[in-house]
Chain A
């Protein structure tokens, strides 16, 4: 019996020691946080360059806690579940999702006077009409994304890729993929309607009819698609595995493929497309508001930081003067011709309730068809 006990004790001892060693770095880091204060950030992978984070921490003594999120919905869910005492200071909301957060009083208006580097952001983004709501700014734009047509250059020609219709051609049956929700907006645009639905705010019947038309368009062509996907990683894997030859994607994941040497091209077809902008926002009742503003100011300070963000994520930087800092391949994967850009509009938030109230059920219907 005593012998049994001693071996058990040895087991527990070794296990405890091993466990402590493994978990130790985590506790050490937390102790360090007591120093110059901290700032809590929710953002996407690669949106805060490692080098910048280290420099900021050693320059200011403020500990940067980053929590990686992977979509807008989760940030909203998490933050809502935390009210009225959020644990986060800075979030990464896409511009066209502002209203959902603002209506639920989750964000604080951005005081641009406290950001001396506000002027380093390209006014196309910082002074864009979607960026000002109720007379306030709600976030600092950092990266811009867009819905693009991405195709394997060994299988599809540039000529074919000039129109979104190529996604629905019989030639590529079973070799295409797209995100249904985004595709609804694009199809509506392709049909000549306003995909943001702002033009139909006063005419809900017309809005419903348009959504119905787009929905039926996609249902009729459901047999042509290989997969409805949600995440960029899925798209990338499908391309690498050659399960698809072309598809609708966000420019970020597509650019990452290009930068890796994959034979991919991205384009904004002639019918046009939509873009969105990621911003850094200050939460309402943020626990470390001052540190949050210091962090924001610091991350906007130099175009090199913007270039690093683009390099890592594949999205286009909103900072001025970033282009010269990119490599040949990086520039290729993040630039579009003037002709293409002319067809690009930003997603707008004003009619979101109307739009998503109609589009979400349509998406379900398409999936269930």
Chain B
């Protein structure tokens, strides 16, 4: 690839970054506006909204609650999704297409239908509205995404590797754990990120299946009825900073750990 193309490509990348960040910057900016509403022009500035977020223990605990739900539901959906992907990929058996279709199902249902269906189903199963119910609904909803991502990666694993391991005497479980799984790690990581995002951002399921403890999107949506205010922008900004910090810390941690295990 010649110089010109490379420059062009990097321009496209940074233009994309701009596209992705500008609304974000606007959101952060609006958190400083001294008014009950957001928008230009900003005539006067204030720190009260940001200060209010930290003083408001409700926001902090809501954030923690959302994160806990995201982590738990992601754990479940990645485990189940990977298992299903391994089953479906590269194998031909009767009913495979049906199983695949059923697996993808939760992703196709519009949010509000899914939420109400789960609420009623939960009652039938005796599950109380609250954290458990939300985690369950999120986990089920996210499985299709895990399956798609992992299957895509799995399809590129050369069968010869697994066969070689089996020829050398490894049983199916060990050859899975030592050959297939490491190969799948990048897609599993990607799927994990997807699921965390989907769960953290979800509003409709959290709303119908939650109890009196709101998740962050539910809290924001409820406050929204009084107008999109700088307060909401400040809350979202703080939530963003906290998740970014966690994300960067996790990335640093995995990098350090990878370096250490290589040593």
Contacts and interface: CB of A to CB of B under 8 A. Distances in A.
Nearest to B64: A22
Chain A contact residues (Cβ within 8 angstroms of B): what range? Answer: 35 or more
Contact of A74 (B58, B61, B207, B224): B207
Contact of B227 (A7, A78, A253): A253
Given A7-B257, A26-B61, A19 B71 contact: yes
Contacts of B71: 19
A8 B250 CA distance: 12
Contact of B35 (A22, A45, A81, A260): A260
A237 interface: yes
Contacts of A261: 35
Interface string A246-267: 0000000100110111100000
B61 A23 contact: yes
A78 to B, nearest CB: 7
Nearest to A312: B226
Interface in A55-98: 65-70, 74, 77-78, 81-82, 87
Interface stretch (A122-130, A185-193, A228-236): A228-236
Given A45-B226, A68-B222, A26 B123 contact: no
Interface string B197-240: 00000000001100111100011011111111000000000000
B37 A262 contact: yes
A11 B37 contact: no
Given A236-B37, A262-B37, A256 B214 contact: no
A135 interface: no
Interface bin, chain B: 35 or more
Interface in A1-41: 3-4, 7-8, 11, 19, 21-26, 40
A279 interface: no
A67 B212 contact: yes
A236 B225 CA distance: 10
B224 A69 contact: no
Given A4-B257, A22-B64, A24-B61, 20 more contacts: A3-B261, A19-B68, A23-B61, A45-B226, A70-B222, A70-B224, A70-B225, A77-B208, A87-B211, A231-B224, A232-B225, A236-B37, A236-B227, A241-B40, A256-B226, A256-B227, A259-B36, A260-B35, A261-B35, A262-B37
B227 A232 contact: yes
A44 interface: yes
Given A65-B212, A257-B37, A82 B123 contact: yes
Interface in A276-334: 312-313
A313 B226 contact: yes
Contacts of A11: 253, 257
A240 interface: yes
A165 interface: no
Contact of A240 (B38, B129, B208, B225): B38
B228 A256 contact: no
A46 interface: yes
A128 to B, nearest CB: 25
Given A45-B226, A66-B212, A256-B226, A23 B37 contact: no
Interface string B26-53: 0000000001111110000000000000
B40 to A, nearest CB: 8
Interface string B52-73: 0000011011011101100100
B260 interface: yes
A82 B208 CA distance: 10
B225 A81 contact: no
Interface string B149-171: 00000000000000000000000
By Cβ-Cβ distance, the 7 closest A-B pairs, closest first, are A22-B64, A68-B222, A240-B39, A25-B61, A23-B64, A81-B119, A65-B212
Contacts of A24: 61, 64
Contacts of A87: 129, 211
B228 A236 contact: yes
17 contacts: A7-B260, A22-B68, A24-B61, A24-B64, A25-B60, A45-B226, A69-B222, A70-B221, A74-B207, A77-B208, A78-B119, A78-B208, A236-B227, A241-B40, A253-B227, A260-B37, A313-B226
B39 A22 contact: no
Contacts of B57: 25
B224 A23 contact: no
Contact of B36 (A19, A44, A256): A256
B221 to A, nearest CB: 6
Contacts of A257: 37
Nearest to B263: A3
A96 B101 CA distance: 44
With most chain B CB atoms within 10 A of its CB, the pick from A45, A66, A81, A259 is A81
B225 A231 contact: yes
B123 to A, nearest CB: 7
B64 A81 contact: no
Contacts of B225: 44-45, 68, 70, 231-233
Contacts of B25: none
A168 B60 CA distance: 47
B116 interface: yes
